[in-house]
Amino acid sequence: MQLTSAFTLLASLVSVVVAHEGHDHDMQMPLDYVKFPYQAAYPGDNEVTADSIFSGITTFAKLPWVKCLGKERNEPFDIAFIGAPFDTGTSYRPGARFGPAGIRAGSRRLTLYGGYNVPLAVNPFMSGLKMVDCGDIPVTPYDNKYAIQQIEDGHKELLHRPTFSPLGNDTLTGKPLVPISADGKHHPRIITLGGDHTIVLPLLRSIYSAYGAISVIHFDSHLDTWKPEVFGGAPSQQAAINHGTYFYWASQEGLISNGSSIASIHGAIRTTLSGPADYANDDASGFQRIEAREIDTIGTAGIIKKIRETVGDRPVYLSIDIDSIDPAFAPATGTPETGGWSTRELRTILRGLDGLHIVSADIVEVAPAYDTNAELTTMAAADVLYEVVSVMAKTPLGKIIVD
């Protein structure tokens, strides 16, 4: 009997191993995983909410996970979230390589009650656009030059992917919309989860391939246009590119719109300087500035007005450093500065960008290791992107041709 039982058990184990070896791992579906947005279980108006939002694989806002840079590289989409886990260009506290994972964790509750954005009167996740989470760009931690190229290549591959949805017609005139890009093509939007702010140089190089030189709205406590010989001293060619100099290089490469009537703008600036020459260099790089303290005199409405007057109705790239928010609300960042805006104030300002043609965006410098147990910073980052994607969902990247 014992010998028979042993043979029976062995036969069972063999069958399990054979079955496992013949199983396609890519066909395994994590709990609550959905492949396409129209299968997502986002509740609509007056439907069930708050149901096990904490379960399942952690993607941004429980969006479908698509291997955009792998076996599903032909999958079209309208808006994609992609991580860039790079932090070897930071000058103070590292750790932003874990930012993408932290932001995704902070986003789990975004659709807890449904996802409808009351101030903007839109549910971006049910707007008809196909949104996906593409995971992370594989970034080496050993070679900054190679990593920066990886980020540019990964972003560019997604940016030049066909969109899932057509541009359609203008809602007011009924006329067909045409793309606003420089190459005449309709491109999807890419929202990048950083990573330290160095990643914006390769991202802007990618954006340039579709839109040419572009206006930038930059929320940050720091200028990030410093000359390399000032910020870090540029001990090597590669060390000259870091999270304090990337806009300097972007300006030098012609990636940023720079002219008397075309400009970019910083918001929430409150950094110390080497001296007034830093502002002169910032001017030469094509930026106007809104100091963080201006919110005390002109309020959020005045800040929104300045931004809109600066960028107009041109295509614009949006870059958000989490340290634009005061460390009382978002402490987990590489170079924190007190005296910043509150999370509520930044979200109000972002909603004030409604109607702008934001072609792509990023949020950077989230370093979860310095966060509170309540995950304040990663939640703030996720909520900020919720406002960004809501604005995007309302405004297509098209224009009408005036006869």
In three-state form (DSSP H/G/I as H, E/B as E, the rest C), the secondary structure along 124-191 is: HHHCCCCEEEEEECCCCCCCHHHHHHHHHHHHHHHHCCCCCCCCCECCCCCCECEECCCCCCCCCEEE
The reported pLDDT for the residue numbered 260 is 62
Q: CA–CA separation, 176 vs 364, rounded Å?
A: 36
The reported pLDDT for the residue numbered 43 is 64
The reported pLDDT for the residue numbered 15 is 44
Residue 402 belongs to a domain: no
Annotated binding site: 197, 220, 222, 224, 321, 323
Residue 172 belongs to a domain: no
Q: Select from 228, 261, 102, 78 the least CA-distant residue to 162.
A: 78
For the chain, what is the largest distance between any 2 Cα atoms, rounded to a whole number of angstroms?
93
Q: Select from 215, 207, 314 the least CA-distant residue to 258.
A: 215
**Close Cβ partners of 401 (under 8 Å, ≥ 6 residues apart):** 175, 178
Tens of pLDDT along 247-306?
Answer: 999 999 999 988 766 789 999 999 999 999 999 999 999 999 999 999 999 999 999 999
Tens of pLDDT along 223-239?
Answer: 999 999 999 999 999 99
Residue 207 structural domain: 77-163+189-396
Annotated binding site for Mn(2+): 197, 220, 222, 224, 321, 323
Q: How many CB atoms lie within 10 A of CB 91?
A: 15
Residue 40 belongs to a domain: no
Alpha helices in 255-375 (DSSP H): 277-284, 295-311, 343-351
The reported pLDDT for the residue numbered 37 is 42
Residue 58 belongs to a domain: no
Number of domains within the chain: 1
Q: Which tokens belong to 401? A: 């041709």
The reported pLDDT for the residue numbered 49 is 63
Note the pTM of the prediction, 2 decimals. 0.88
**Close Cβ partners of 270 (under 8 Å, ≥ 6 residues apart):** 221, 291, 292, 293, 337, 339, 340
The reported pLDDT for the residue numbered 33 is 46
CATH number of 279's domain: 3.40.800.10
Q: What is the mean pLDDT of each run of 10 residues along the chain (403 residues)?
A: 48 43 44 46 64 80 94 95 97 95 94 90 95 96 97 98 93 90 97 97 98 97 96 92 96 89 91 95 96 98 97 96 98 97 98 98 97 96 98 95 74
Residue 65 belongs to a domain: no
> Which region holds residue 236: left if phi is over 0, alpha if psi is between -120 and 50, else beta?
beta
The reported pLDDT for the residue numbered 266 is 98
Residue 52 belongs to a domain: no
Q: Select from 354, 373, 253 the least CA-distant residue to 307.
A: 354
Residue 31 belongs to a domain: no
The reported pLDDT for the residue numbered 113 is 83
